[in-house]
Amino acid sequence: MRLDRAELRLVSLPLLKPFRTSFGVMNGKTFVLLRLFGEGLEGVSEGVMDVRPDFREETTSGALALLQETILPSVLGQDFANPEHLMRHLSGIRGNRMALASVEMAFWDLWAKSLGLPLSTVLGGVRNEVAVGVSLGIQPSIEATVDSAVRHAEQGYKRIKLKIQPGWDVKMVRAVKAALGDLPVTVDANAAYSLGQINTLRELDTLGLDYIEQPLAWDDMRDHAKLQALMQTPLCLDECITSAQDTRKALEMAACRLINIKVGRVGGHLEARRIHDVAAAFSAPVWCGGMLESGIGRAHNIHLATLENFTKPGDTSSSSRYWARDIVHEPLETSGGMMPVPGGAGIGVTLDLPFLDTLTQMKVDVKP
């Protein structure tokens, strides 16, 4: 597959409702959209870096510059036999896995289209729909949280994940658990606690949660290992994991018992699949996380989640939860807690270009 040219955009899509986590409030999603052209076809990806480096360290502005000035010029005009070949070519680039994932994922879409196959098939997926849960942001009150959790449970979501932070945890989680009965409930702290708050963490341990996601610092596996040794409830790492090597180390030191895989966080589908394989070798389940993606990133996530060891419900819930109108034509909607894998070649969704143009803050064409 020869890569002819690329188009980079910075896109802003307003959320229907603000999404609050321990690190801040999001009123919309501003993301890097990459269109990669070759052999008369087009592959598309969505970056998961944020405007502020408050989840991990990469930013939209930093990634745009790196993609435009360094990564894209080094691959355009070149021929790559497959995604492995492309990533070997880029292997000298340290870190910056969100920026690398943008190119890698757009290439997979392009390559799957050239083969005339759905991305899930090319990745080795084993199902045509994936189980999903929902991630609920921090609400103004416990009543509002219980209400929202019950409404989403009624829609069939297979697990409810609650965002927590110090002062918004045990009491709220207890109320939601009481309202939901047997439905799996999890919490995600986005790194808001430290071992100094062990008393609260021990209380969370008594609530029958399915797992606790990233309670401690974004870059600290060691303290997670200390905490896991004190807790019955499995820990799940998100921010800490950017590679298969990270995954091996985390599971070897028992810093967690399962992994949230976000393809955009770990450098693309190849690395996501390696993480999936390493976790399987440790008998650790994985599930597919989300970063409030538009239909492009969401479609990539859904295809990835068809791999065998994605045995826990993911975060790729219906697009209509997030957006009044998505940037792709095809609806990505769940029914009974299942998200169908978009059919057709590649990621199986197509850009609504006139609508996308109205959301585009910046656009640049990159040529060899």
| Residues known to be catalytic | 163, 262
Q: Is residue 188 within the footprint of Mg ion (CB under 5 A)?
A: yes
Question: Contact with ligand OSB (CB under 6 A): which of 289, 295, 337, 346?
Answer: 289
Name the residue with the smallest CB distance to Mg ion: 238
In whole angstroms, the minimum distance from the beta carbon of 258 to Mg ion comes to 12
- Told to check if 190 binds ligand OSB by CB under 6 A, we report yes
Residue 151: CA count within 13 A, CB half-sphere: 9
Residue 282: Cβ-neighbour burial (10 angstroms; 0-12, 13-18, 19+): middle
Contact 262, 48 (CB under 8 A): yes
Pairing of strands 24-38, 41-46: antiparallel
Task: Pick between residue 135 and residue 306 the one whose CB is nearest to ligand OSB.
Answer: 135
Binding mask 200-219 for Mg ion (x = CB under 5 A): -------------x------
Contact between 58 and ligand OSB by CB under 6 A: the answer reads no
Name the one range near ligand OSB by CB under 6 A: 56-64, 121-129, 277-285, 286-294: 286-294
Contact 126, 135 (CB under 8 A): no
- Smallest gap from Cβ 76 to Mg ion, in A, equals 34
Nearest distance from residue 344's CB to Mg ion, in Å? 30
Nearer to Mg ion, 48 or 64 (CB): 48
**Nearer to Mg ion (CB atom), residue 169 or residue 213:** 213
User: What is the nearest approach in angstroms of ligand OSB to the Cβ of residue 105?
Assistant: 16
55 binds, among ligand OSB, Mg ion, none (CB under 5 to 8 A by kind): ligand OSB
> What's the alpha-carbon Rg for the chain, to the nearest Å?
20
Question: Closest approach of Cβ 191 to Mg ion, in Å?
Answer: 9
Candidates 46, 210, 220, 238; binder of ligand OSB (CB under 6 A) is 238
Cβ 134 to ligand OSB shortest distance, Å: 7
Which region, judged by CB under 5 A, interacts with Mg ion, from 10-18, 59-67, 156-164, 186-194? Answer: 186-194
Stretch that binds ligand OSB, among 112-120, 141-149, 177-185, 284-292 (CB under 6 A): 284-292
Considering only residues 305 through 324, tell me which ones interact with ligand OSB, judged by CB under 6 A.
315, 317
Residue 238 touching Mg ion (CB under 5 A): yes
Nearest distance from C-beta of residue 42 to Mg ion, angstroms: 31
Give the separation between CA 301 and CA 264, rounded to whole angstroms.
Answer: 9
Q: Check: CB of residue 138 under 8 Å from CB of residue 127.
A: no
Residues 6 or more apart whose CB falls under 8 angstroms from that of 21 comprise 137, 138, 163, 165, 188, 190
Among 10, 189, 292, 327, which residue sits at the site for ligand OSB (rule: CB under 6 A)? 292
Q: Interface with ligand OSB includes 46 (CB under 6 A)?
A: no
- What are the structure tokens assigned to 264, written together? 């955009």
Select from ligand OSB, Mg ion, none the partner in contact with residue 104, using the beta carbon and a kind-dependent cut-off of 5 to 8 Å.
Answer: none
User: For Mg ion, which stretch binds (CB under 5 A), given 199-207, 234-242, 305-313, 318-326?
Assistant: 234-242
CA count, 13 A, side-chain hemisphere, 364: 11
For ligand OSB, the binding residues (CB under 6 A) are: 55, 135, 188, 190, 238, 289-292, 315, 317
